[in-house]
Amino acid sequence: MNVTELIDLINQLGVDSDYITPHERELYVKYLNMANMELFPIVAKGLKTITNKIDIFLDAASQSFLLPADLFYIRAVWSDKTKLTMIDIDKDLTLSEKGYLVLGSAIFCNLTTSGVGFPIKVDPIDNVSKMYITLFYVSNPKTLVENVNDPLTEISTPIYPVPYHHFLAHGALYYFYFANKIFLDKMVFIKDRWDQDKIELTNFKNYGL
């Protein structure tokens, strides 16, 4: 379902009006994006089709690997054939051999005493040979719109598998009811449905949606 179809579904499930005004369409898109921001962190951990892969070269000045500007969620970090493990800063700050630490917009690894052999190749930006790591990550969510003007930041069809598109309509309806303080009985029902949607999506993402 695209955004236009989702707007029609929201109207059908909600007020069932014969005509959706431009202002109402604008509000429905706003609430769809609010719902999307709740669902996206769930699928970011399990939806493989939105995972990016890049090689990050060592920054000599900071002795770290600078993260991409569009990073939303780190799926995995590898050094050649060795998978690295993120260090829990609430428990320990020691950089173990196969550990990495995320501080700000950079990844820090044990480059000196680690037994991990960090691979080296030529950085295409400056043609200098450098250590690098391979990052699998999810980019920031794009804004849902009816008509796409900027493909880099906007989409007209949700990234979720089609059977889960209607979850967005449930979430948008909940935000619509909550914002307008109307149909309170319907709001209670849709909130329960919306909560169940998020649980269902969480369970299914564990099977690699």
Residue spans per domain, the chain: 3-47+160-205, 49-139
- Mean pLDDT per 10-residue section of the chain, whose length is 209 residues: 95 87 95 96 89 96 96 95 88 80 93 78 96 96 97 95 92 91 82 93 67
Query: Quick check: helix, strand or coil at residue 52?
Result: strand
Place of tokens 């059908």: 12
Dist CA 149 CA 168 (whole Å): 22
Which single residue is written with the structure tokens 């995320």?
102
Which tokens belong to 16?
């069932």
Which residues make Cβ contacts (< 8 Å) with residue 40, sequence separation at least 6?
A: 72, 141
The helix or strand, by DSSP H or E, that contains position 192, with its residue range, turns out to be helix 184-205
Q: What is the pLDDT of residue 114?
A: 59
* Tokens encoding 158: 């949700």
Chain CA centroid to CA 40, Å: 5
- What is the longest distance spanned by two Cα atoms in the chain? 69
Helix (H, G, I), strand (E, B) or coil at 34: helix
The dihedral built from the CA positions of residue 105, 106, 107 and 108, taken in this order, carries a sign that is: negative
Contact assessment for residue 134 and residue 75, using Cβ atoms and an 8 Å cutoff? no
Using an 8 Å Cβ cutoff, are 168 and 33 in contact? no
Quick one: pLDDT at residue 137?
97
Q: How far apart are CA 138 and CA 198, in angstroms?
A: 19
